[in-house]
Amino acid sequence: MQGVLAPIQFLVFLVSVCLVVRYLATGDGEWAATLSILLKTLLLYLIMFTGSLWEHDVFGKYLFARPFFWEDVVSMLVLALHTAYVLALITGALDVRQQMIVALAGYAAYVLNAAQFVWKLRTARLQARPVPRAAAFALSGGDE
């Protein structure tokens, strides 16, 4: 599920960033920007829910399992900022420009969080990659 949701969420994020920046720069497209942020937030909640189920299945904890502790910490910041945006939208506690800035803060945290996961995935792949036979022979000092 994560392999499907993550790329979709990233595409929505890219479109949304453009729409939010357009609104902040021109004042045009408030509805489209707002809708894109809400869609990004919905996808975020969905990916967090399915991710916590996976984490529970694999590590026995819904969140903050040792291998994903820091990723989960930053994920909580991402969720908090996205939720703050939704609350500001619903309550009108912030004007539209301030709401969009909160959304961009959430997006910055999302980029950091995505980078954490990409780094972890890349590290895991590099560690799992078998050493080519010639390199293993050279590393062993040629004693085969």
How far is residue 65's CA from residue 54's CA, in Å, rounded to a whole number?
A: 11
**Residue 92: exposure state from Cβ atoms within 10 A (0-12, 13-18, ≥19):** exposed
Q: Closest Cα partner for 11 from 49, 40, 45?
A: 40
End-to-end CA distance of the chain: 45
**pLDDT number for residue 121:** 76
pTM score: 0.82
The reported pLDDT for the residue numbered 135 is 45
Tell me 130's DSSP state: P
Cβ(110)–Cβ(78) below 8 Å:
yes
pLDDT < 50: residue spans in the chain: 134-140, 144
